[in-house]
Chains A and B, each alone.
Chain A
Amino acid sequence: MPRIVAFCCQYCAYAAADLAGSMRLQYDPNIRIVLVPCTGRIDVIHILRAIEDGADGVYVAGCLEGGCHFLEGNFKAKKRVRFVKKLLERIGIEPERLEMFNLSSAEGPRFAEIAREMTEKIKALGPSPLRRHNRSKENI
């Protein structure tokens, strides 16, 4: 099962995750949710650490554009995600292992859908290239 780290903002994505839970919607249990106050809190290094520590996939889930509780945090996150995708490509890691999604706190079903989408995508890509050589790194 793929190990996927999901950085979720408190006001939208994490709230949607809670709602998905209340609605008993099913998605892959290997999604490790990391709560942040706003996706703008996430920096390049956080994403790289997740990958370095063996994540097969990473996604950043924030509010809908224009609906960020902190106004522009999700735009900053979008730029950083784009930047990290480029960095990953340059060092031979598939940029598709990292994505950004936007949703509102009312979208429980969408949260589950994103989780399922990302899981399928990462399954198709296979385990992180870092895990091929070194099976002992289990920091996640």
Chain B
Amino acid sequence: MIIAEMKPVKEILEMVRDYQNILIVGCKGCVAVCNAGGPKEVAILGALLRIARRKEGRDIVVDERVLDRQCEPQLIEQLAGPVKENNYDAIVSMACSVGPQYIAEQFDTMVVLPGLNTGFMGGTVVHGIWGEYCAGCGTCQIQSFGGLCPLTRCAKGLLNGPCGGSVDGKCEVNKDVDCVWELIYNRMKKLGQLDRLAQAVGAKDWSTSLSGGPRRIIREDLTI
């Protein structure tokens, strides 16, 4: 899923400084699972903003809504009614960055603000901790690495690792992170694939990643 976290509340307060009537929109997708922008977090942010502004003596009206997902234009349409009725100064989207962009596209005279910092594609490590596992390179080759992705999980993204900084099995950049090349080696050893590990992996074709420009994926059998 996409892992994000709420922006520092001071930053959000600064963004809404000049506004008196705002809508916070949450999302029940990825950001609800990683406790960044789901119904609970929408309520928390709403309360924080109202408390902070009342303290300053400049109350703010904060409406709170949650959509099933914000990465679907048809679901964004559900905001049309509330937006029309309430004359909001701004909408704070608590979805990953796709959300605010979709809202901005549909409500093109509305100020749209991101309530989250979107981080990465990843999963739950343990409850409360989420880790990065996929960089979206567009050409998955984890089968060459025992099922792990060195592009994402090696700080240097080496396809022929490890580097000399992997001294004690930990990453040179962050001592709390295991060197993924140690993990790859251990796994490939268990799989009996060390001879495969000994073969050089060629230079990556980055044109299928963001490096090649913003991407689209199309299923022709599904387009209308």
Contact = CB atoms under 8 A, between A and B. Distances in A.
Nearest to A92: B55
A45 B51 CA distance: 12
Contacts of A130: 51, 54-55
A49 B47 contact: yes
Contacts of B43: 45
Interface string A42-58: 01110011011000000
A48 B44 contact: yes
B52 interface: yes
Interface in B7-59: 8-10, 13, 40, 43-44, 47-48, 50-52, 54-57, 59
Interface in A73-95: 87, 90-93
Interface residues of A, number: 17
A45 B57 contact: no
B50 A90 contact: no
A22 interface: no
A21 to B, nearest CB: 32
A134 B55 CA distance: 9
Interface in B48-72: 48, 50-52, 54-57, 59
B10 A90 contact: yes
B51 A48 contact: yes
A52 B9 contact: no
Nearest to B54: A130
A90 B13 CA distance: 11
B57 to A, nearest CB: 4
Interface of A: 43-45, 48-49, 51-52, 87, 90-93, 129-130, 132-134
